[in-house]
Structures are given as structure tokens and as C-alpha cells.
Amino acid sequence: MTSEHIEDILLIEEMESSYIDYAMSVVAGRAIPDVRDGLKPVQKRIIYAMAESNWVFNQSHVKCAKVVGQVLGNYHPHGDSSVYNALVRMGQVWSLRYPLIHPQGNFGSIDGDLPAAYRYTEARLSQIANELVEDINKETVDFVPNFDDS
């Protein structure tokens, strides 16, 4: 590479610009719910993983640890606490008008009590969440590759 192709930049300016770009990408990609359905990506991944595993309203509850592991291993490589917190919130009747998870065990309280660890709680999709994924295999959703292109 010759010196005529090297551009001098100030490190601080590049760091500011790169950080802002990354932060906006995180906010847009993970933190803000989708306007079409009101769900964040982690919530969609939980619902999809549970539906694919047949952990639905008319089946037995499964350990939340199993759900978290399935989501982390296949769809969401960002840490177990974000997955479990999203799972818990979708099962709290005081958090959502129509809970998407049917919980079993200590999922916290409206007074701010924390939920039990995921190894002690169980869940399955609620009947209304099942409606969300009922036609998913009929090309109603545009699928994109996940973190490992699978």
C-alpha cells in the first residue's frame, strides 16, 4: 500500500463517530420494539424457539433454563440474563395486556420482587402467542440469517 492511499484522521473523531454508529445500531436492532408487532428481537426469538420446540399452550410446561438454552444456542448470542428477563416479562400479567408466556413458578411480583432463577421456573407459550406463530411457515415472515448464518 502506498502513502497516497492512507488518510490521516484524528483518533478521537473516529472513535466518536464509530461509537455513535454502533450505539444507534444496537438501539435500532435490539432495544426498540418493531412497529409492526411491538416485539423486540429477543422476544421474537423466544416465541419462535418455543413454537419450533412445541412448547405451546396445550403441552406441558418446560424449564425456563431449557428455553433460555435453546434461544441462546440457536438465535440470540447476547447472554442468558437478557433472554430470561424478556421471557419473564412476557409472562407477567402486570407487564403486558396479553401475556405471551404462560408461567409456572415465581415470575416476580408487581411490587418489584425478582423472579426465581430460571432453573426453578417453567413456561410455555400462551394461547395468544400461539396465534402469532400459527401461520409462520406460510411465508408470512421474511426470515434473515442469524448470527452464525444458519
According to CATH, the topology of domain 40-137 is Topoisomerase II; domain 5 (3.90.199)
The arithmetic mean of pLDDT across residues 3-28, rounded, is: 83
Q: Considering 19, 22, 98, 120, which one is annotated as catalytic?
A: 120
Show Cβ contacts of residue 44 under 8 Å, excluding neighbours closer than 6 positions.
34, 37
**Catalytic site residue 120?**
yes
| Helix 41-52 / helix 80-91 crossing angle, nearest 10 deg | 80
> How far is Cα 18 from Cα 101, in angstroms, rounded to an integer?
38
Contacts of 132 (CB under 8 A, 6+ apart): 37, 47, 100
- Which pLDDT tens digit goes with each residue over 100-115? 999 999 999 999 999 9
Chain segment 36-90, per-residue pLDDT in tens: 788 888 999 999 999 999 999 999 999 999 999 999 999 877 889 999 999 999 9
Q: What is the pLDDT of residue 1?
A: 53
- For the whole model, what pTM was predicted? 0.80
Q: Could you tell me the sign of the dihedral formed by the alpha carbons of 12, 13, 17, 18, in that order?
A: negative
